[in-house]
Structure formats: C-alpha cells, structure tokens
Structure 1
C-alpha cells in the first residue's frame, strides 16, 4: 500500500510538472511570435518608406547590386502590403503569400550580396530578418494558419474560430493590428532623417559611393 501510494504521489508530481511545463511553453510561444512579428513588420514598413521615398542609401545599394532604380518602388509597395497582411488578423492564404514574399525578398538580398563578394555587414542584416520571419511563420497561432476544414472545426475553441472554421475577426484584434501599423509607420517616417545620415555613412564605408552626399 505504501509503495502504491508513493507511485501515485510520484505520478501526480510528474503530471503537475508536465502541466507547469506546458503552461510555460504556452506563455513563451505567443511572446516569441509577437516579438519576431513586430520586428519583421517594422523592418518591412521602414524598408517600404526608404524605397518609396528612394533615399540615397537605396539608390547606392541598387546601383551596387545592379538593379534598376524603379525596382525600389516595386519593393516598397510589396513590403508595405506584406507588413499589413502579416500584422492583421485573418486572411491566412494572403499571409502565406506574404511570408513567402519576404523570404524571397531577404533571401534574394543575401544571395545578391554574397554573389558580389560583400561582407557580413551587408548580407548579415537580411539574413537575420530572414531567420526572424521563419520563426514568426513557425510560431504563428492556429487562427493564422492554413488548415483543413475538419481540423479547424475540431480546434475551433482553442484556435479562436467560430463553428464554421473561419477565424474570428474581433474589432479589438483589428484595432490593435491597425494601431501597430500606424505607429510603426509614424516611427519609420520620423526617424527617416536620422536613418539617411547613418546609411549615407554606411554607403561611403562600403565603397558604394565615392563620398558622402550633401
């Protein structure tokens, strides 16, 4: 009887530990998702502002890589669209396209710089954002994933979905996402002058321009 009681206590302790570990993972996962997501969304919005306003850094980089100048406007529009698609709730299929697009964007930047023999100061940042995008995509919650209708219905309670398998689009979720995009856009525009000064120095240091432009 004593042995059975000991086994029961050990089993109960193990179950409590497993439950506590699962609870910790359930807290860490959404925090890691939102951290990586906010970082890549901010980078996409900032990159969109830099490209659409075509700062000197963008011109120097495109010239160095051999891309046409108009490519900046194509990138700028796509970057902002991807940022919005990733930030807002719902639209799982568009989110998959957006994640795929940013993987091509930053992966292409890494390959382009490596092909020209550039150092890690050039291909390191896009590689970092590429990794963060993969982490964000991997950790995205169930209501941001493409799943079979049957699985959605079975997990509707946990995934924040209704009985039809469609993700809930609560006004609060939309307000938070829209506010995030607006705030990050404002920060990108307000910090643009400082970013121009810093990136002008980078272009000179890397030999992409002969001297810092006035």
Structure 2
C-alpha cells in the first residue's frame, strides 16, 4: 500500500512538473509574440516618421500636431525598439515600455478627440495592449531586480539562498547568443520596414485621400 501511495505521489509530481513546464513555454511564446509585434511596429514607426511618408505628415496635420513631432517620435521609437528587444538594461526597458504605452494611448486619445473612426484608434489600442502583455510576461532576467524579488521571493527572506537564484548572472555563451538573436531580430524588423516602403507609401497615401487628409 505504501508503494502504491508513493507511485501515485510520483505521478502527481510528474504531472505538476509537466503542467508547470507547459505554462512556462506558453508564457515564453506569448511574450515573444507580443514583443515582436511591438518591436516591428516601433521600428516601422521610426522609419515612417524619419522619412517621413505622406501618411505620417497628413495624420499629424489632421490631429493638430506640428510636423517636427514626426522626427521626435521617430528617434524615440528607434530607441524604444532597441531597448525592448536587447537583453539587459532592465531600467531602460521599463522606460521604453512606459514610453511606448504613452505613444499608443496618446494616439488613441488623439483620434478619439477629433472624432476618428474605430479603425483609426483601434490599431494603436491593439499595440498598446501588446506592450502591456509583453511587459507583464517578460522573463525574470529582463526585469528590474526589485520587481523580480517582489514576485519570486517570500516576504522576510534575505538575498541569499534559493530566493536569489533568479538574479544570478547568465552564462557568457547564453548572453552572447541572446544578444546575437536580439540584434538579428532588430535588423530584420528594420529591413522589413524599409523593404515594404514602396508598397506601404502608395497604400497609406490612398487611405489618407479617402479620409480627406490629403487632397487628391
């Protein structure tokens, strides 16, 4: 009977371990999915604002912003895309997430104030939601130490022992691989943004004409 009890306990432990692994894998997939969405959008926004394309100029004019805002947004979007995707720099990541949320929530409010339709403010709303999801789902090594400790360490424990394992430095090879992958993804996002400009520009120009932002 004892053997049976131990067997059942072992099976429950294995099931719990598999369940935890599945949850962690799903969390990682959702994190990278939402992170790539916002990084690609930030990179595209940087390119569109720094060119700038007619869609950006017409939209800023429609919303009542001066033209030079495009260049300010473009520079900060480029910085935010890099900060979010690369490993390390946890404090800078926090600023990048906050700035991205302000950017997209500001776009939502701006379109609502001028009576924009849901298809205009719904897009930045979606990106803002992705930014929140990415921030919530980010792994421990991409968090500020204080945030990490508050989430993973029981109250009253010291900064030693098992509670501090999440803050240990990652192996050099792992860090190098993380940097290589992150930089590769960032370069890919910019390449995609630049290569699609010949398609994006006429499409967005036509949309701006339909909306009455540009005289045909």
TM-score normalized by structure 1?
0.87
Q: How many angstroms does 1:6 deviate by? A: 6.1
Q: What is the alpha-carbon distance in structure 2 between the residues aligned to residue 179 and residue 156 of structure 1?
A: 31
Question: Judging changes above 3 Å, is the alpha-carbon distance between structure 1 residues 167 and 52 closer, same or farther for their aligned structure 2 residues?
Answer: farther
For 2:72 and 2:116, how far apart are their aligned partners in 1? 24
Aligned match of 2:195 = 190
Name the CA distance, whole Å, in 1 between partners of 2:96 and 2:46.
Answer: 14
Q: 2:211 aligns with which of 201, 206, 214?
A: 206
Q: Secondary structure at the match of 2:145?
A: coil
Q: How many Å separate the matches in 2 of 1:96 and 1:167? A: 24
Deviation at 1:157, TM superposition (A): 4.1
1:98: which partner in 2?
A: 96
CA distance in 2 between partners of 1:65 and 1:7 (Å): 69
Structure 1 residue 210 displacement after superposition: 2.5
CA distance in 1, matches of 2:42, 2:184: 16
Aligned-residue offset at 1:194? 0.5
Shift of 1:149: 9.6
Which position in structure 1 is the counterpart of 2:17? Answer: 19
Distance in 2 of aligned mates of 1:142 and 1:135: 15
Return the alpha-carbon distance in structure 2 between the equivalents of residues 182 and 93 of structure 1: 23
Partner of 2:30: 32
Q: Are the structure 2 counterparts of residues 116 and 139 from structure 1 closer, same or farther at C-alpha, using a change threshold of 3 Å?
A: same
Residue 145 of structure 1 corresponds to 143
Structure 1 residues 7, 90: CA separation in 2 closer, same or farther (over 3 Å shift)? same
CA distance in 1, matches of 2:71, 2:203: 22
**Alpha-carbon distance change, 112 to 177 in structure 1, aligned in 2, over 3 angstroms:** same
Offset at residue 148 of structure 1 (A): 2.8
Match of 1:52 among 26, 30, 50: 50
Structure 2: gaps spanning 5 or more residues: 150-158
Q: Hey, what's the Cα distance between the residues in 1 that align with 2:212 and 2:164?
A: 55
Once the two structures are superposed, what CA deviation does each residue of 1:40-85 show, in whole Å capped at 9, x if it has no partner? Answer: 0000000000000010000110000000000000000000000000
Q: Which of the pair has the greater relative contact order for Cα pairs under 8 Å at 6+ separation? A: 2
Contact kept, 8 Å, 1:90 with 1:167, in 2: the verdict is no
Contact 1:113 1:123 (C-alpha < 8 Å) held by counterparts: yes
Q: In structure 1, list runs of 5 or more residues that go unmatched.
A: none
1:108 aligns with 2:113: no
CA distance in 2, matches of 1:35, 1:62: 29
SS in 1 for 2:58: helix
Instruction: Report the aligned-residue RMSD.
Output: 2.3
**Shift, 1:200, TM fit:** 0.9
